[in-house]
Amino acid sequence: MSDSKGHAKGLLGRKVGMTQIYAEDGAVVPVTVLELGPCRVVQRKTAASDGYEAVQIGLVEKRPPKRITEARRGHFKKAGVEAMRHLAEVRVDAANESQPGDEIAVSVFEVGSRVDVIGTGKGKGFQGVMRRHGFGGGRASHGSMFHRAPGSVGQSASPSRVFPGMRFPGRMGGKRVTTKKLVVVKVDEENRLLYVRGAVPGGRNGLVMVRSSV
C-alpha cells in the first residue's frame, strides 16, 4: 500500500457520483467519480516509536473546523499543518519518505492499478427480514396468514431459548463498508478526480478513503 520512495498510496476524499465512459475498444465502462484530496501528512509512525510503519493523513477542506480540542490543536501544530476534520492512517514500509506537512495528490494512483474504497453505506432504516436478510417469506395465496414474518426462531422444549445471532428485523445499512480491488480507469490530476470501475459505498458527497489494494 505504499510507494517505497514516494508518498503513501492512500487518500481521503468525497464521492461525486456515477457515470460511464468509453474504453478504447468502444465498450461502455460504468465508473464512480471520486474527488480526492488535497491531503497532508499529519504524523509519521515508525516501528521504533509506535511498533508499526504508517502515516496519518488529513483531508484539507475549504471550510476548516471551527471547534477543535486543545489536544488535537497541539497535534496539528506539532506537524506544522492546518487543522483538519477527517484523519486516517495508511500503512507503509520503512523505506517510505513521507514526513509531516507533505502533500499527497491523486497522482499517486495509476491507471490500471487496483484500489480499495472504504466508506459508510447508505442507511436503510428499520427493515424486516425479507429485505434485511433475504428471507423468502410465506405463501401469497388466499387465506394464508404468513407472508413476511421471520417464522419460528426458537424451540418448544429443550433448550427453550433463542440462540444469539438469530436473524431478526432491525436497522439496515449505515455501516462501514470496504469495496476491494476496483480498477482505476482514469486519473484527472488537474481536477483531483479518480475514476474507478464499479460502485463504491455511500451516497453523493460521502466521505471515502482510497488505498492501494494488497
The length of the chain in residues reads: 214
If you average pLDDT over residues 4-11, what whole number do you get?
67
Mean pLDDT calculated for residue range 131-143: 94
pLDDT at position 95 over 50: yes
Q: Give the residue extent of every domain in the chain.
A: 10-122+179-212, 127-152+163-173
pLDDT band at 3; cut points 50, 70, 90: very low
Q: What confidence score (pLDDT) does residue 7 get?
A: 56
**What does the pLDDT read at residue 66?**
86
| DSSP reduced 3-state for 108 | helix
10-122+179-212 — its CATH code? 2.40.30.10
Q: Across the chain, which distance is largest between two alpha carbons, in Å?
A: 72
Burial of 108 (0-12, 13-18, 19+ CB in 10 A): buried
What are the distances in angstroms from CA 198 to CA 19, 139, 164?
Answer: 10, 36, 35
- Cα separation of 2 and 54, whole Å? 9
The percentage of the chain sitting over the pLDDT mark of 90, rounded to a whole number, equals 74
pLDDT in tens, 112-121: 999 999 999 9
Examine the pLDDT at 4 and tell me if it is beyond 60: no
The string of pLDDT tens digits covering residues 200-213 is 999 999 999 999 98
**φ, ψ for residue 89 (rounded to 5)?**
-110, 145
Q: Is the pLDDT of residue 8 over 80?
A: no
Cell representation of residue 25: 475498444
Q: Rounded to two decimals, what is the model's pTM?
A: 0.84
Which amino acid is located at 7 in the chain? H
Q: Does the structure show a pLDDT above 70 at 107?
A: yes
pLDDT of residue 2: 40
Q: Is the pLDDT of residue 35 over 60?
A: yes
